[in-house]
Structure 1
Amino acid sequence: MTLRSNITLIGMPGAGKSTLGILLAKALAKDFVDTDVLIQQRQGCTLQAYQKAHGLEAFAQLEAEVVGALTLDNTVISTGGSVVYSREAMSRLAAHSVVVFIDVPLDVLQQRIHNMESRGIVQKPGQSFELLFQERWPLYEAAADIRIEADHHAMDAVLALMIDALSKNHQGTADV
């Protein structure tokens, strides 16, 4: 694996990591991997079904194992929103990736997500989406090399912001 040849996208469910990841990979001529899809393929079931059957701790361990086993070069990696709970997984990703936090405001995320029960969002029983957002946001910010304030921008505008920020980061300037 080449040192930091990958780009890892982190952020809340609904931030657009998978969609933006595909677009970014295409724009930069990189491969694309979605860790949620890898988990589903490995287990033969949806994320939600796995969580219901095995619990949140088992899912977190599985996610850390799948991410820890990645040996990728020149790839855009879209992660599940809960990956930031695993220090080992984030350390591994950071060693081989520029980590990009797609920062979308809570109100926009709430408008985008209509399938909370079936989406496979890792959250404690009874925990609101708002509390989950408040819990994760500082973890995303701490893990990121680059933070993209996506606000209400269309996907193509967010993509352009990401490409510009990555270009500046590559030149040694991490300011976005």
Structure 2
Amino acid sequence: MKNIVLIGMPGAGKSTIGIILAKVLGYQFLDSDLLIQKQEKCLLKDIIETQGLEGFIAIENQVNCEIDADKTVIATGGSIIYGTEAMKHLREIGIVVYLKLNYETISNRLGNIKQRGVVFKAGQTLKSLYEERCPLYEKYAHVVVDGEDLSAEEFMDKIAEEVKRYSKGM
């Protein structure tokens, strides 16, 4: 089976669920935000501060375009969907899974969002960011998995099930 690429809003559980999913499937786990931090030698929030939004998105796009993995669960940053080339590459090397949660759940999970290195435009709220990104996650996903009211374990099981079903249909 190919790679499994997790996309979705910050707080959707891409990293948390990705690690468990990788263990259960016997896959490697890769967090693309950590690759960005390693390359740039600083935190995401500092990259956004020094390079600005466009600069960060360009770096995120470049780093994700260079991912060369096999049998790996890849957790991406929430803003990955702004990188057209990166999304094209990720769709070629894996099954892209959108971890879908409603706005209230995301909002409750995030707490201090600024510490997470979330890409906001000037004057943008979490709600407007959510509304802007959701259609893009839907557009790029091979599989959409709704995790509302599920535990991490149940969400992970549902993702594994949907990926298997999708793989059979390929």
Structure 1 and Structure 2 fold alike (TM over 0.5): yes
Separation of aligned partners in 2, 1:9 and 1:117: 22
Task: Tell me which residue corresponds to 1:33.
Answer: 30
SS in structure 2 of the partner of residue 118 of structure 1: helix
In 2: Cα distance, 1:157 partner to 1:151 partner:
10
Q: CA deviation at 1:159?
A: 0.6
The TM-score with structure 2 as length reference comes to 0.98
Question: Cα distance, 1:118 vs. partner?
Answer: 1.1
Residue 106 of structure 1 aligns with which residue? 103
Instruction: Show the counterpart of 2:70.
Output: 73
Q: Would you say 1:153 and 2:157 are equivalent positions?
A: no
Structure 1 residue runs of 4 or more that deviate by more than 6 Å after TM superposition? none
Counterpart position of 1:120: 117
TM-score by length of 1: 0.94
Q: For the residues of structure 2 that align with 1:160 and 1:72, how far apart are their CA atoms?
A: 23
RMSD: 1.0
1:102-154, Cα deviation, whole Å (9 max, x unpaired): 00110000100012111100110110000000000000001001101011211
Q: Which runs of 5+ in 2 are unaligned?
A: none
The percent of aligned pairs where both chains have the same amino acid is 38
Identify, as 1 or 2, the structure richer in helix: 2
Q: Quick check: 1:83 aligned with 2:80?
A: yes
Deviation of 1:23 (Å): 0.6
